[in-house]
Structure 1
Amino acid sequence: MNLFEKYFLAANRWALIMLLAAMALIIFTNVVLRYLTRESIEWAEEVARHLMIWLTFLGAGPVLRYGGHIAVENLQDSLPRPAAVLLRGLIALLLLGFFGFMIWYGLLYMERTQYQTTAATQISFAWIYAAMPVGGALLVVHWLLIMRGYLRERVFAADAHFDANASASL
């Protein structure tokens, strides 16, 4: 793994960790306050929902790296190697097209909703919809970093954590 990829993946993971931690802390605090004081934080559920949206779009790239999304692989497994490589090439192009569509459509959503504000926090919906083009751009980078291995042998990037566990069990 090259240095850029290492730091890129680490930054993406830390962003996910921070989003999940903030979401958990907000919801936990809200539940505790609700039971102890019979009052709740007005904006807690809204902010947690928005953090979940960001978590979903930013987390799609690392999941893609490790082959964690649902895939139907029976066809490419049944084809001869040259045909399977061609099929994976088509899949790779379709995925890049879809990620580009996510970026483009996310920017459209941001533009259309920039003057609408959320109910509790009064922030522009464009900030929430920004998760879509940002996540799409991250998906493009993650995909370009692993695409060669996928095209050749349908190999996904291995997580160092999983590699350490696999070698420890041998």
Structure 2
Amino acid sequence: MKTFERYFIALNKWALVLLLGAMAVIVFANVSLRYLTNFSITWSEEVARYLMIWMTFIGAGLALRTGGHVAVSNFQEMLGPAGQRAVRILILCLLLAFFAIMIWMGLNYMDRARFQLTPATRVSFSYIYAAMPIGFGLLIVHLLLIARSFVMENRFAEMETDAPSTTLHERAIPSIAGNRD
């Protein structure tokens, strides 16, 4: 299961990197062309907007796993350990139900918009709305992967970073960095 989770997170991260990279290239190219040649790419703003929508829905699961979404925990903190666990189970069930409803709503939007075309690229809006059920499906997977640690320990997953664990300063001056009390 850990191997699946590691690959799943890596694919999710790379999808975000590719979407952000494509958006940055398109916007940079359009701005450069506009100011250097007085020519603008007519579809760039539309495509950048839709890439941003996809990034939002695909990235929501990664934010969820680290506790990056807004949460109000005052009520939960007033309760004892058993009450806190019960509230977290309720939250988990409500989130799963909400995500499932949003998948259904997203599929409904896709069905309704399948014959409407975007203004500049003339692509079916159903491809844009597909971000919603896919993003909420990813949210369900992410939530299920962290459900046990969330319910039992109120702990979210820690994201692995590609950066080394020590800073440049700590490597340069190990005696000072190691003497923190």
**Bigger helix fraction:** 1
Gaps of 5+ in 2: 171-176
AA of the residue aligned to 1:113: A
Distance 2:60 2:165 in 1: 23
Structure 1 residue 162: deviation in Å?
8.9
Q: Does 1:151 align with 2:151?
A: yes
Q: How is 1:69-148 mapped onto 2 (pairs within 5 angstroms)?
A: 69-148=69-148
Cα 1:82–1:166 shift into 2, 3 Å: farther
Cα distance in 2 for residues equivalent to 1:5 and 1:49: 30
Q: Which residue of 1 aligns with 2:21?
A: 21
Distance 2:57 2:63 in 1: 10
In the alignment, the residues of structure 1 paired with residue 84 and residue 164 of structure 2 have an alpha-carbon distance, to the nearest angstrom, of 31
1:96: how far off?
0.3
Q: In structure 1, what residue type is equivalent to 2:41?
A: I
Deviation at 1:163, TM superposition (A): 9.6
CA-based RMSD: 1.8
Give the 3-state SS of the residue equivalent to 1:146 in structure 2.
Answer: helix
Alignment of 1:62 with 2:62, yes or no, is yes
CA distance in structure 2 between the aligned counterparts of 1:63 and 1:22, rounded to whole angstroms: 21
> Per-residue deviation at 1:165?
3.6
Instruction: Give the secondary structure class of the aligned counterpart of 1:67.
Output: coil
Which runs of 5 or more structure 1 residues have no equivalent in the other structure? Answer: none
CA distance in 1, matches of 2:164, 2:153: 22
Task: Report the Cα distance in structure 1 between the residues aligned to 2:74 and 2:127, rounded to whole angstroms.
Answer: 40
Greater Cα shift, 42-51 or 151-160:
151-160
SS state at 1:114 partner = coil
Q: Residue 109 of structure 1: CA displacement?
A: 0.1
Alignment-mate amino acid for residue 130 of structure 1: A
The CA deviation at 1:103 is: 0.4
Secondary structure of 2:105 counterpart: helix
Q: CA deviation at 1:75?
A: 1.1
Cα distance between partner residues in 2 of 1:59 and 1:160:
15
TM-score (norm. length: structure 2) = 0.90
Q: Which residue of 1 aligns with 2:2?
A: 2
Partner SS for 1:84: helix
User: 2-side partners of 1:83 and 1:163: how far apart?
Assistant: 38
Superposed CA deviations along residues 8-38 of structure 1, whole A, max 9, x for unmatched, are 0000000000000000000000000000110
Q: TM-score, normalised by structure 1?
A: 0.95
